[in-house]
Amino acid sequence: MAQLAQAFPDLVSRVRYFDGDIVVQEGEPDDSVYFLEEGALVVEQEVSEGSRHVLKVLSNKPDADQVVPFGEMSHMLDGKRSATIRSSGGSSVVKIEGRAFEPIFRDFPEVARMLNLKLVERLRDANAHVKELTKALDPPVLREMVHQSRILLREGEVADELWQCPAGILYEVRSGGARTEIDTDSEGFIDPLPFFREGRWPRTIEVGAGSFLLKWSCDRPADVFRFHPELALRLLRTGQ
């Protein structure tokens, strides 16, 4: 940082911030890149009027081997800040003006390498976040196309699986072997009440060839209600 300041005295500056001071403001145009030399910074976004969500805390010690870059996304993209960053306690920050980066990348390739590594880290974090969101939005089900008719639920056995049949044919099989076609509930669930009560299947059910099944694989049965809240209401109202 000292070498950068000597080489570009008009484009590189060191700023001291006190507790609560704003370093960058969400929504404001700014293509500068910053490096935290010492102290801690809080990164936060506005989620509603007057309400803010803390995304992360950046920190660096005086004897650290490297400074901590931030603000590089705005420099690389549209030049507007996506979050507010404020000082938590006293902090020391180096600011590099955006127009300085072409000669800096040429003369100080280690700075370019540092920022590239930071971008890779951000992409890795973003991918992990997308996976978590996908997991939260995608029902935890195993999908199966039935190619040959088979018994799916057997009377008297422990109801430890939850099945859904969005499309297909189901039969109730009686003790004498007689088969009667039956319907699922309005969302395709097959006898869900015994599953949630940790009971036993009240009847034997056969699934026909060509049917499409979903098998729920939840650690907690109540997770199903996040995707099908109406099922919880039906179970409470009718007990079916």
Asked whether 54 and 41 are in contact (CB, 8 A), the reply is no
- Residue 83 CB burial class (10 angstroms; 0-12, 13-18, ≥19): buried
Architecture of domain 2-137: Sandwich (2.60)
Per-residue pLDDT of 192-224, as tens digits, reads 989 888 899 999 999 999 899 999 877 677 778
Give the position of tokens 């955006």.
98
Helix or strand or coil: residue 114? helix
pLDDT of 12: 86
Give the position of tokens 């009686």.
174
pLDDT of 132: 67
Residue 192 vs residues 27, 62, 164, 166: alpha-carbon distances, Å = 49, 60, 9, 14
pLDDT of 184: 85
Asked whether 211 and 151 are in contact (CB, 8 A), the reply is no
pLDDT of 131: 67
Q: Could you tell me the residue ranges of all domains in the chain?
A: 2-137, 141-238
Q: Considering only the top CATH level, what class is 141-238?
A: mainly beta
Rounded CA-CA distance 22/229 in Å is: 43
Asked whether 70 and 119 are in contact (CB, 8 A), the reply is no
Rounded CA-CA distance 28/164 in Å is: 50
Helix or strand or coil: residue 101? helix
Fold identical between 2-137 and 141-238?
A: yes
pLDDT of 170: 93
Q: Which residues of the chain have pLDDT under 50?
A: 240
